[in-house]
Amino acid sequence: MPDETKDEEMICGLTADERDVLLWGLNELPETMPPRAVWNRIHDQAQAEGLIRTTVTQRPSTWFAGFGIAAAVVLSVIVVPRLMSTPDPITPYTEPPATAANNQPEVTALQALMVQSQQLESDLRALPEEPSVMRASTIATLSDIEDAIAAIDFQLNESGVQMTPDERELFWRERVRLMKSLVRLRYAQAQRTAF
Amino acid sequence: MSKFADIQIDPAIVRRAAHGDSRAHAIIYQAFKTPVYSLSLRFTRVPAHAEDIAQETFIEIMRSISKFRGEAALGSWIRRIAVSKALMFLRSAWTARSQSLADDWDEVTPGDAASHGISSHPDDAMDLDAALANLPTVGRTIVWLHDVEGFTHKEIGKMMGRTESFSKSQLSRAYQRLRPMLSPNRDDVATENAALRSI
């Protein structure tokens, strides 16, 4: 690989410094988001070709949103202290006693994710405001993460679609992962601004 | 450096997408829409064309994701599809104009990049953006594939239906156009770069 790099430099006529500047500059170039209509076109074509299936709800999912909020509030008092003392708050549940309700373990894992997500939201709010001047690549990355979270939120709150607890847990897990990325980036940004 | 490599998707979402779950596909689209569209726009410079390429890319992802085995990163796999679709588009455009892949240097005069308001220091990404935009399509595409997406000359030559030497010579010509603005002088952004890389 070093030989190849040297070969390229000789052929392409750039010094190592010039090439570094070029690579850095390329990395800094702003990214562009496609118009919203692009997804609609993709979705329409995919449906027409039978590439995707949309699950239709049998009943409104609002019950779950209300239940989730209530569960998150309860858990923030009862479960969070326990989660904070364990290395991985998304640790799979242990088998419940025979007398426990059948859906109890699923609810617990899901609720843990909800609480963790809520905690990350709180961490994010605690960070200083975004600086007025930001690098283009940072803006693009922040925007991408926020878009992805918004998309997940949309799916979680969509009233026309039924989700199983497993599906819901999957989406909440992804939301937590994205929130962690967002907090990490915003924290690094805040650190840099502070100095 | 490629933005595709930085994006991670939960394997369970990929499995759901493989079964045609529209919500899983929506998540994949949200995660990759910007790098796919940016790459397409970088190659074609025409938003309508970039939209078409993005659409074809994500439809191909939907068609093929059941064959994705996870041996490579999902981002690399999607990048391959996007590049393939973009090059296919460019080839068709070139064919329509009865041009070969090699002769579009004549479309741009040698002084264009340097005379396009480019400062001596690329502290403003717009300078490089403008310089790239003024490169011929082939040169710009090869710079991007090689320096941003990390493809080798051999891979680029193969993807373009040309030789490794073709890729090298096109890159060399592109570098010569860009060289006037490549004076080493940049800010220290290591902390933020590290944070971006870690995501």
A164 CB contacts (<8 Å, ≥6 apart)? Answer: none
Question: Are the beta carbons of B9 and B31 closer than 8 angstroms?
Answer: yes
Contact B30/A18, CB-based, under 8 Å?
Answer: no
Q: Minimal Cα–Cα distance from B101 to chain A, Å? A: 19
Q: What is the DSSP string of B110-162?
A: TTTTTTSS--SSTTSHHHHHHHHHTS-HHHHHHHIIIIIS---HHHHHHHTTS
**At residue A161, does pLDDT exceed 80?**
no
**At residue A138, does pLDDT exceed 70?**
yes
Contact B37/A33, CB-based, under 8 Å?
Answer: yes
CA A5 – CA A139 distance, rounded (Å) = 31
Domain B1-98 has CATH 3.40.50.2300: no
- Enumerate the residues of chain A whose CB falls inside 8 A of the CB of residue B172: 11-13
CA B73 – CA B15 distance, rounded (Å) = 14
Q: Parse chain B into domains and list their residue ranges.
A: 1-98, 99-199
Contact A148/B30, CB-based, under 8 Å?
Answer: yes
Q: Minimal Cα–Cα distance from B126 to chain A, Å? A: 7
Asked if the ipTM is above 0.85, the reply is: no
Q: Please, what is the average pLDDT of chain A?
A: 71
Q: Is A16 on the interface with B (CB under 8 A)?
A: no
Question: Are the beta carbons of A153 and A65 closer than 8 angstroms?
Answer: no
Which pLDDT score is estimated for A100?
A: 43
CA A190 – CA A183 distance, rounded (Å) = 10
Task: Please give the model's pTM, rounded to 2 decimal places.
Answer: 0.61
CA A124 – CA A118 distance, rounded (Å) = 10
Q: Minimal Cα–Cα distance from A99 to chain B, Å? A: 31
CA B58 – CA B40 distance, rounded (Å) = 12
Which has the minimum average pLDDT: A4-18, A35-49, B14-28? A4-18
* pLDDT tens, position by position, B104-120: 655 554 444 443 333 44
CA A183 – CA B93 distance, rounded (Å) = 43
Which has the minimum average pLDDT: A18-27, A101-110, B82-91, B167-176? A101-110
* pLDDT tens, position by position, A147-158: 888 888 877 876
Handedness of CA A30, A189, B121, B124 (dihedral sign): positive
CA A153 – CA A158 distance, rounded (Å) = 8
Q: Is A129 on the interface with B (CB under 8 A)?
A: no
Which pLDDT score is estimated for A107?
A: 58
Which pLDDT score is estimated for A13?
A: 76
Q: Is A44 on the interface with B (CB under 8 A)?
A: no
- Enumerate the residues of chain A whose CB falls inside 8 A of the CB of residue B132: 29
**At residue B195, does pLDDT exceed 60?**
no
